[in-house]
Chain A
């Protein structure tokens, strides 16, 4: 059993592909730094991330698969599935060696199918950010939102908000990964907030720093959501299916 270990980055993955060709090996596992080794194995190779190697693999990829397939690959790479790096390595290896027809639509290949499925999962999570981010207006006019997505998808979603709310300053903060984006009305900046105030711990603005009208609009929204439901057709299962419970913590309509 041949085992490769890489640093968990996308460049590292491309370098692992390069190494497997250079060493004429087909690895049976590609482990992230935190992945645990199996009990028995024949060979362990530590992949050194090298931008020359990864650049060569990427340039080849731009010639053999379409831009949308490359975007799907980079999206899918954000998944938490520990099996995925190996499948991605197999996908890239097959893509760069295939001649003529692109392999990206061969969905009977488990590696190609894995790219599609993980891409759907990651982009689904990015779409849920568009759905479930809830801003609270602070006294200084900044809109604040806390999120905890399961994948690191805030960069996918943040441009949507900067376009939509181009005249309003806002902060969206990913609590799990401890970074966020601040938009000041003109420019979008990645920020790390070190404060540990009430709002950073709970994701909710306290009464003192809340805009005077914020409480009223939150109450209006809660009242609206409650009265728009038809009691004769209650279906809490469907509600949980479409709006996963892990989001409820920061949803205004689900508080109190």
Chain B
């Protein structure tokens, strides 16, 4: 552990930073009293936030950034002339333990470039997890990348020690993937996903029959798609994630706005800025699918294959479907209340329990935390709050809800105080 390690860590942290997965939730692992660490269930713990506002929960690092593949969108592609480094197994283990003991991190997120062959790389990844768990009795969170093309035995070995495993799809449609990464196809991605799924299901099955079954990836798996590197529409992306969420072990799909890392490659679009708004809209759509009971087809239908960048996808859906509004706050079922723009999961739950005691009016709603600025066009609560979308038109409501933003952004606009 010397200054040389510091340089290597800098290179390999920078190489791993485009992988956006950061969660440390999904498993409960108590400290058995002999080791170090635990994982708290429910919510994970974000230990720090980097200058780009993204959370740092896990030590996200690559074992090596040498890679035998040449994927157009990847910073670590073979043909890039960048500093390369490799961390030894003991270095990764030491850094993880020492960071963990100082409460810097929640655990380790280990990924790697593919060197020699997928099995060789996967074996080293599994080895680190095994050392941490068995030698250092580490009970913190471990997230491992499964290397596409690795054999089932090695994935199973890694899965015994990991809390979560992931394989990145990167590009939603296979033809786009083949264009940007000719050495890869969707089979190489879905195969290891299948190994992980089968392992988890097998483990659940065994639990019914035996008293002690070793854990297998208790936090499930996640994946990631790059946004804006290929011509795929938001509809393609959302349909893919919706299909992935129907897999019993898929917990999260992440979206990564493409940062132009290989500007010389003419197969990629020349972006000045990563598509941050589009990425944000996709995450909002993802939340709608996971917590608001929306379907991918509803969020981005055939007529609107791309999400509206000006309004969020929930408001977008509401403006396309004026016929279901206004929703009666005091009578409508929970599912309908969830669909009102400006009402989130927390407020919806509060509304449903509070309305058993008395009739709710708009002042109750705004105290509960409903964003009345948006919600008022879509609800009735026994009083006239604003003309509802059914009485006016979607265009009118849309104009009202988007106008305010534009005015605030225009510094040349003079303002007069009439109050």
Select the stretch in B94-102, B110-118, B382-390 that faces chain A: B94-102
With A106-B357, A235-B53 as known contacts, state yes or no: A227 contacts B14, CB within 8 Å. yes
A67 lies within 8 A of chain B by Cβ: no
Q: Interface size class for chain B?
A: 35 or more
Task: Give A residues with C-beta under 8 Å from B.
Answer: 101, 103, 105-110, 113, 116, 127, 130-137, 143, 145, 160-161, 163-168, 213, 216-217, 219-221, 223-239, 241-243, 251-253
Given contacts A213-B1, A229-B52, 4 further A-B contacts (CB under 8 A): A103-B357, A136-B102, A165-B101, A231-B51
Contact B259 A224 (CB under 8 A): no
Q: Out of A101, A131, A166, A233, name the residue touching B52 (CB < 8 Å).
A: A233
Shortest beta-carbon distance, A71 to chain B, in Å? 16
Given contacts A133-B103, A168-B36, A228-B60, contact A239 B354 (CB under 8 A): no
Q: Report yes or no: A238 in contact with B53, Cβ–Cβ below 8 A.
A: yes
Q: How far is the CB of A68 from chain B (nearest CB, A)?
A: 13
Complex: how many Å from CA A137 to CA B260?
41
Given A164-B37, A220-B6, residue A239 in contact with residue B49 (CB < 8 A): yes
Answer whether residue B414 sits at the interface, using C-beta atoms and an 8 A cutoff. Answer: no
B44 to chain A, nearest CB (A): 10
Contact B358 A108 (CB under 8 A): yes
What are 22 A-B interface contacts by the 8 Å CB criterion? A101-B356, A101-B357, A103-B357, A105-B356, A105-B357, A106-B358, A107-B364, A131-B47, A133-B103, A134-B104, A135-B101, A163-B30, A164-B31, A166-B31, A213-B98, A223-B13, A225-B56, A227-B9, A230-B259, A234-B52, A239-B50, A253-B104
Interface centre among B14, B35, B103, B273 (most CB of A within 10 A): B103
Cβ-defined partner of B274 (8 Å) among A105, A161, A232, A241:
A232
**How far apart sit A106 and B368, CA to CA, in the bound complex (Å)?**
11
Please, what's the 1-or-0 string for B333-356, where 1 marks a CB less than 8 Å from any CB in chain A?
A: 000000000000000001101111
Residues of A contacting B360 with CB < 8 Å?
108
Least CB distance from B263 to A in Å reads 12
List B contacts of A131 (CB < 8 A).
45-48
Q: Determine whether the beta carbon of A228 is less than 8 Å from that of B37.
A: no
Name the A residues within 8 Å of B18 (CB-CB): 230
Q: Is B36 a contact of A234 with CB atoms below 8 Å?
A: no
Taking CB atoms, residues of chain A closer than 8 Å to B56 are 225, 228
Residues of B within 8 A of A101 (CB): 356-357
Question: Which residues of chain A are within 8 angstroms of B52 by Cβ–Cβ distance?
Answer: 229-231, 233-235, 238-239
Contacts of A231 in B (CB 8 A): 51-52
Interface residues of B (CB under 8 A from A): 1, 5-6, 9-11, 13-14, 16-18, 30-31, 33-38, 40, 43, 45-56, 59-61, 95, 98-99, 101-104, 257, 259-260, 273-274, 276, 350-351, 353-358, 360, 364, 367-368
Are A233 and B276 in touch, CB under 8 angstroms? yes
**Interface pair A229/B51, CB less than 8 Å apart:** yes
Is A143 touching B101 in the complex (CB atoms < 8 A)? yes
Q: Do the beta carbons of B368 and A113 come within 8 Å of each other?
A: yes
Q: Which residues of B contact A217 (CB under 8 A)?
A: 98-99, 102
CB distance B364 to A108 under 8 Å? yes
Residue numbers in B under 8 Å from A164 (CB-CB)? 31, 36-38
Residues of A within 8 A of B60 (CB): 228
Q: Are B102 and A107 in contact (CB under 8 A)?
A: no
A223 touches B51 (CB 8 A): no
B6 touches A107 (CB 8 A): no
Q: Is the CB of A223 within 8 A of B31?
A: no
> Closest CB-CB distance, A76 to chain B, in whole Å?
16
State A5–B195 Cα separation when bound (angstroms): 66
Q: Within the assembled complex, what's the spacing in Å between the Cα atoms of A168 and B367?
A: 46
Task: Determine the distance from Cα of A242 to Cα of B311 in the docked complex, in whole angstroms.
Answer: 24
Distance to closest chain B CB from A121 (angstroms): 13
Query: Are A220 and B38 interface neighbours, CB within 8 A?
Result: no
Q: CB within 8 A of A130: which of B9, B45, B259? A: B45
B261, closest chain A residue (CB): A232
How close is A102's CB to chain B, nearest CB, in angstroms?
Answer: 11
Judging by beta carbons under 8 Å apart, are B99 and A229 in contact? no
Q: Which residue of B lies closest to A233 (CB)?
A: B52
- When C-beta atoms are compared, the residue in chain B nearest to A133 turns out to be B103
